[in-house]
């Protein structure tokens, strides 16, 4: 991340550090979660930056037309959470650039696929990601032990093999490998250190999808509008987008 920022610089004025986005398999498809490790803490403006970048990423890579956005919090009520998440929620709720803001979401909403984009700081996002990975390995190990525990279990596993393969393909880390560093003046995608050939190929696909999209232009335009909102004076009307 440090080398990428040094060589490429940030893509727009006001962006301080890039955010790592993870494509998370859910009951409703794929949810983009960011940041998952590049920034330990994030203020309200940075969280809004993540929302803008995550929305453009989901549209570019996963083909959504109007991605919904939620801020990860300890509850869905407006009064929940610390000051930065509440301030970010206010900015997004009143935003002038047409983002589809859903509201606060909780940890279990990620796997449900309640929203297309989940915004959080890198500290919380990384813990959530590692917890999900550990839980997936735990369940996989328990299933393997249960399905090989007896001859009857092995026979049942053989009958269920097509369904088991389908489930494994859906949660295969290689199928969603490739975490872009969003916010750079260029495209950098981080691959998982244990990725196989299929996973590495998927990381390249993510890179190509971003390169072929209007992701950078869309992020830049919305960041300019955000800057106008945050730093305008009452005598300076802000142009909105219909």
Q: Model-level pTM? A: 0.82
In this structure, which long-range contacts are made by residues 64-68, counting pairs with CB atoms below 8 Å and at least 24 apart in sequence?
A: 64/116, 66/100, 67/32, 67/100, 67/115, 67/116, 67/117, 68/100, 68/101, 68/102, 68/115, 68/116, 68/117
Determine the Cα–Cα distance for residues 193 and 25; give it in Å rounded to an integer: 19
pLDDT > 70: what percent of the chain?
89
What's the confidence (pLDDT) of residue 72?
Answer: 96
Residue 19 lies in a domain: yes
Residue 132 lies in a domain: no
What's the confidence (pLDDT) of residue 229?
Answer: 65
Residue 209 lies in a domain: yes
CATH code of 42's domain: 3.40.718.10
Q: How many residues does the chain have?
A: 242
- pLDDT mean over 165-171: 75
**Number of structural domains found in the chain:** 1
Residue 156 lies in a domain: no
Residue 99 lies in a domain: yes
* Cα–chain center distance at 194: 20
Residue 18 lies in a domain: yes
Instruction: Convert the pLDDT of each residue in 3-26 to its tens digit.
Output: 888 888 887 766 777 899 998 889
- pLDDT mean over 41-60: 89
Instruction: Single out the residue of 158, 177, 181, 240 nearest to residue 30, CA to CA.
Output: 177
Instruction: Convert the pLDDT of each residue in 210-234 to its tens digit.
Output: 888 878 777 777 777 776 666 655 5
Please, which pLDDT band fits residue 70 given cuts at 50, 70 and 90? very high
Determine the Cα–Cα distance for residues 205 and 144; give it in Å rounded to an integer: 31
Range of the domain at 186: 2-127+175-230
Residue 170 lies in a domain: no
């Amino acid at each position: 991340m440090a080398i990428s920022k040094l060589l490429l610089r940030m893509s727009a004025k006001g962006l301080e550090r890039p955010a790592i986005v993870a494509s998370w398999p859910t009951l409703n498809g794929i949810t983009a979660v960011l940041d998952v490790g590049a920034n330990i803490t994030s203020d309200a403006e940075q969280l809004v930056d993540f929302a803008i970048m995550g929305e453009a990423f989901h549209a570019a890579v996963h083909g959504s037309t109007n991605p919904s956005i939620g801020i990860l919090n300890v509850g869905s009520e407006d009064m929940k959470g610390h000051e930065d998440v509440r301030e970010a929620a206010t900015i997004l709720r009143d935003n002038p650039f047409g983002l589809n803001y859903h509201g606060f979401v909780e940890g279990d909403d990620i796997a449900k696929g309640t929203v297309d984009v989940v915004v959080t700081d890198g500290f919380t996002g990384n813990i959530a990601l590692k917890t999900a990975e550990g839980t997936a390995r735990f369940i996989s190990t328990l299933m393997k032990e249960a399905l090989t525990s007896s001859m009857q279990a092995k026979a049942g596993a053989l009958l269920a093999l097509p369904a088991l393969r389908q489930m494994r393909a859906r949660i295969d880390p290689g199928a969603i490998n490739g975490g872009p560093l969003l916010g750079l003046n260029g495209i950098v995608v981080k691959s998982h250190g244990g990725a196989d050939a299929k996973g590495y190929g998927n990381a390249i696909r993510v890179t190509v999808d971003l390169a072929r999209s209007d992701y950078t232009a869309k992020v830049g335009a919305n960041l300019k509008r955000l800057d106008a909102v945050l730093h305008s004076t009452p005598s300076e009307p802000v142009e909105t987008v219909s």
